[in-house]
Homo-oligomer: A and B are copies of this chain.
Amino acid sequence: MDYPSKVLSKAVDEISGLPGIGKKSALRLALHLLRQPASQGISLGTSIQNLVTDIKYCKECHNFSDSEVCDICNDHKRNDELLCVVEDVRDVMAIENTGKYRGKYLVLGGKISPMEGIGPSQLRIGSIEKKLNSGLVKELIFALSATMEGDTTAYYIYKKFKSQNVAFSSIARGIAVGDELEYADEISLGRSITNRTIYNEAG
């Protein structure tokens, strides 16, 4: 499609470079911005630029951060004895959102996946080692995908560090809240029976 203006054409091109946004959606978004006060578009542009230029990665856990060490690693009220290993920064956000975890994290930056050519050397295994060598960590919690790749990654880390004085655990696999047993896959259902928990009134 030909656009009546070069600035419009350029903006549509750039916006449609984002995943899941085609030319038509990009045009719709551009026209929306043109109907708003110019300040909104300027502010949007600035915040995108600040995002890519100003974001830092915590040198401890590799989570996103505004400073050298992130707020979670800097929080001395959090339990240093627990280290939760996750694949991605999104997983940290998801777990934080539950409000159920008060330990520290380590963001691996992916999972072992021969299909995608990702081996242990591309993950931050060295950072786990550094954490374990500090002697503070007593339990290493795997919060990885319930997939072959996630399991492989957990097994690799377990084998590498099992001689160290640390307990290993994995987040529970089972029937998700709201699921009906009839439709649950048999592996999840099997695990949920094997790993049954003591019933109490709180559910």
Instruction: Report the bound CA distance from A7 to B1 in whole Å.
Output: 35
A4 with B49: CB separation less than 8 A: no
**Identical chains in the assembly:** 2
Interface of A is mostly: helix
Asked if B70 contacts A4 (CB within 8 A), the reply is yes
Q: Which of A87-95, A119-127, A170-178, A193-201 contacts B (4 or more CB under 8 A)?
A: A87-95
Which residues 1-52 of A have a CB within 8 angstroms of B?
1-8, 10-11, 13-15, 17-20, 25, 27-34, 36, 38, 40-52
Shortest CB–CB separation between residue A24 and chain B, in angstroms? Answer: 10
At the interface with chain B, which of A58-66, A145-153, A159-167?
Answer: A58-66
**Category for how many chain A residues contact B:** 35 or more
Chain B: CB-nearest residue to A11 = B51
Contact of A4 among B19, B47, B93 (CB under 8 A): B93
Determine the chain B residues whose CB is within 8 A of the CB of A46 once the complex forms: 45, 49
**In the bound complex, what is the Cα–Cα distance between A45 and B44 (angstroms)?**
7
Cα–Cα distance between A13 and B46 once the two chains are bound (Å) = 12
Q: B14, B31, B55: which contacts A47 (Cβ < 8 A)?
A: B14
Interface residues of A in 110-163 (CB under 8 A from B): none
